[in-house]
Amino acid sequence: MFSTRATILLGAVAFVAGAVVTLAIRPPGSASPQVEAALSESGVAERIRWRVPLSAPRNLPGSGETPVWMAEAMLDATGGGIRFDLYDPGELAPAFAIGDAVRDRKVQAGYTWLGYDQGKIPSSPLFGATPFGLDPWAYIGWWFFGDGETTGQQLAEAIYAGHNTMPVFCGISGPETAGWFREPLTSSDDLNGLKIRFAGLGGRVMERVGASITMLPAGEIFQALETGVIDATEFAQPITDQALGFNRIAKYNYFPGWHQPFSATHLIVNLELWNDLADVDQELIRSVCMASVARSLGLSEYLQGPVVASFDDIGVTASYMSDDLLQTLKEAAIAVLDEEAAKDADFKTVLDSQRAFQALNREWRRLAYLPKDFK
């Protein structure tokens, strides 16, 4: 399986590397003049053209860049045979309802964070981010190779088949920040009654320690923060959060990203349409998405350093949460995860698989990597 995919991937990446040097945000489905010229000479007939709504705007640095790169890479690698027309949140589907639109075939596919399906698919947040869970590179290992019995990919495909969708792993970033706060955090008591925008299972954990949770899409967070509807927020990594203006209101940025040590995104395709695709097109889509996973992780690491280095200049205080606060959150996270597992069999299966992988991986990580405080 992987040898075939690897062969296709190498060809796709080689083609893309030669054709794509820089990417700019463009209207849905458009490519650079150079790419369009190359496609016009390729003679390849367009065989797939899908409308693909996004859960995050394309103009957001970091999180918005990956689907743009993926769509253009797909266009390039297939010589124009496969084209994804991208649409920002609200243009075709609300940010939190992309799964519904794909399931009901209102659109052919979507690009989203699966945790937004939490209300309909209880196990979905585990495929997007697990509090105190796997590192991003470990999640990649779990997705493709699993816990020795079942891969994360197999689990996700089986669960989402019941909702007439096919999830294709198509992007990942490193940890998010733990949030932007108006006031410093001295203990877990400071979270009691705090009005904060929080997503996924991390939101359940924050509720458990007394916070009041509001779920908002990216475009609505700044206004809510500015007007005092919320006191604090999390959304993504520093490069994205700064573009959204959080640092203008909330001057205390906390780390580590305990709630999202990885943040995985997926291309979800209507299952009936997916099953109608030729095998070679399925493999092309998977392979370009695999390249997108590698590129997005590298991009997320590349972009954050300069932003964090500028914090002093813009009056932002970056702090690491105290061990006591992290321990309180970890205990709450374990309780929340165990409760969700007791309520839903799929959630338990996925959680058990991730925990098994994490247990096998833990000693390797301890031995192989330099400690954080080593200088």
Average pLDDT over residues 254-275: 98
Residue 200, pLDDT above cutoff 70:
yes
93 plus 209 within the same structural domain: no
The answer to whether residues 62 and 129 belong to one domain is: yes
Please indicate, yes or no, whether residues 136 and 284 belong to a single structural domain of this protein: yes
pLDDT band at 32 (very low <50, low <70, confident <90, very high): low
Query: Other C-beta atoms within 10 Å of 73: how many?
Result: 25
Strand blocks (E) in the chain:
48-53, 82-87, 109-112, 165-173, 179-181, 195-197, 212-214, 232-233, 252-255, 263-270, 317-320
Task: List, for residues 105-164, the tens digit of each pLDDT value.
Answer: 999 999 999 999 999 999 999 999 999 999 999 999 999 999 888 999 999 999 999 999
**One domain for residues 77 and 202:** no
Chain centroid to CA 52: how far? 16
Per-residue pLDDT, 375: 74
Residue at a domain's end among 273, 288, 303: 303
Average pLDDT of 36-40?
55
pTM of the model: 0.88
pLDDT interval class at 2 (50, 70, 90) = very low
State the pLDDT at residue 127: 98
Neighbours of 24 (CB within 10 A): 8
Of 283, 303, 323, the domain-final residue: 303
Query: How confident is the prediction for the chain on average, in pLDDT?
Result: 90
Residues 6+ apart with CB under 8 A from 99: 110, 112, 114, 116, 117, 120, 121, 163, 165, 268
Q: Are residues 256 and 267 in the same domain?
A: no
CA pair distance 118, 132, nearest whole angstrom: 18
As a whole number of angstroms, the distance between CA 92 and CA 108 comes to 11
- Distance separating alpha carbons of residues 133 and 311, to the nearest angstrom: 28
pLDDT digits (tens, 9 = 90+) for 267-293: 999 999 999 999 999 999 999 999 999
Confidence of residue 36 (pLDDT cuts 50, 70, 90): low
Total domains in the fold of the chain: 2
Q: Regarding predicted confidence, which is higher, 37 or 113?
A: 113
Domain of residue 325, CATH code? 3.40.190.10
Percent of the chain with pLDDT over 90: 86
For residue 348, being part of any structural domain is answered with no
